Structure 1
Amino acid sequence: MRTARQILAEAHTIAVVGASRDPQKPAHWVPKMLQEQGWRIIPVNPYADRLFGEHAYARLADIPEHVDVVEVFRPSGDAPEIVREAAAIGAGAVWLQLGVISEEAGRLARSAGLGYVEDTCMGMERTLADMVHGGIRPGSTVYHGIEPEAERPGVLADHG
């Protein structure tokens, strides 16, 4: 079973069910941030024509291209039906955002062979992994450019 980071690293196209027009909501700024980091975002919202500069679709079934991950910003009770729809369009995984939990959706996803993540913010996972589209950035020190004294040329470390 793939981990959340593996699912995100392997994804190119993310359909966002429940994408919001309100820039104050996570259902707006999380997919927008992912788009800015290189993922193709397809908004799914029956009340919007365009979001994030992209055509918004009313349903997953309306999307005319392959979807790698279906990100869900809907109530937990909607998750099982969204998993069924994701399986029907051939998506590779379903990702339930932070606070969205469904045992039934998990069972359905596993039985359909879909990757599955629940109760996890995709944006937080991306940030923690320092990930951009296509994988994790090359390694860097935690201090981003500040070298520990022992690693600087000509400086001896005091080991005590």
Structure 2
Amino acid sequence: MKNPSDQRIKEVLHTKKRIAVVGLSDNPNRTSYMVSEAMQRAGYTIIPVNPNADTVLGEKSYPSIKEIDVDVDMVNIFRRSEFLPELAKDTVEAGIDVFWSQLGVVNEEAYEYLQDNGVETIMDCCIKVEHAKFK
């Protein structure tokens, strides 16, 4: 698994402004909430993917990637590594071209599948930290 260059990550962050966040908790004390709230404050549109919440961060929540009915530029994953192959398939089927998994979340099978299907893939990397580097 190899992430894109810093320059490419910067380009992604400057052009992909609608982020579906899989595993976005409605609990303000959870990392997914804090990171997504920071990205929302930075001007990104957050599309929550949480089957157990109607809304998160004031946005309509969707039960799965497949059920999102608005345009999405990238997915940001806050689920355990073993869920990545299924989420990779959902991402490809939804036609989303950037897949980002948070720190500590890596799966080689998902990475290979995403690469084979032309999806730009960033794994084991905090979107908030990267965003702060390239403001």
TM class by shorter chain equals: over 0.9
Unaligned runs of 5+ in 2: none
Q: Give the equivalent residue in structure 2 for 1:56.
A: 61
Q: Which has the higher helix share?
A: 2
Number of corresponding residues: 130
Q: Give the equivalent residue in structure 2 for 1:5.
A: 10
Q: Is residue 129 of structure 2 the alignment partner of residue 124 of structure 1? A: yes
**C-alpha RMSD of the superposition:** 1.1
User: What is the CA–CA distance in structure 1 between the aligned matches of 2:86 and 2:14, rounded to whole Å?
Assistant: 25
Corresponding residue to 1:103 among 101, 104, 108: 108
Q: In structure 2, give the amino acid aligned to 1:14.
A: I
Q: Could you tell me the TM-score, scaled by structure 2's length?
A: 0.92
Q: Is residue 103 of structure 2 the alignment partner of residue 83 of structure 1? A: no
User: What is the CA–CA distance in structure 2 between the aligned matches of 1:40 and 1:27, rounded to whole Å?
Assistant: 15
| Secondary structure of 1:113 counterpart | coil
Q: Give the equivalent residue in structure 1 for 2:40.
A: 35
| Secondary structure of 1:98 counterpart | coil
User: What is the CA–CA distance in structure 1 between the aligned matches of 2:11 and 2:112, rounded to whole Å?
Assistant: 20
Q: Give the equivalent residue in structure 2 for 1:69.
A: 74
Deviations 1:61-95, CA, capped at 9 Å, x for gaps = 11112211100000000011101101101101100
| Secondary structure of 2:99 counterpart | strand
Bigger Rg over Cα: 1
Q: Give the equivalent residue in structure 2 for 1:152.
A: none
| Secondary structure of 2:20 counterpart | strand
Q: Is the contact made by 1:7 and 1:115 (CA closer than 8 Å) also made in structure 2?
A: no
| Secondary structure of 1:42 counterpart | strand
| % identical aligned pairs | 34
User: What is the CA–CA distance in structure 2 between the aligned matches of 1:8 and 1:72, rounded to whole Å?
Assistant: 15
User: What is the CA–CA distance in structure 2 between the aligned matches of 1:26 and 1:74, rounded to whole Å?
Assistant: 11
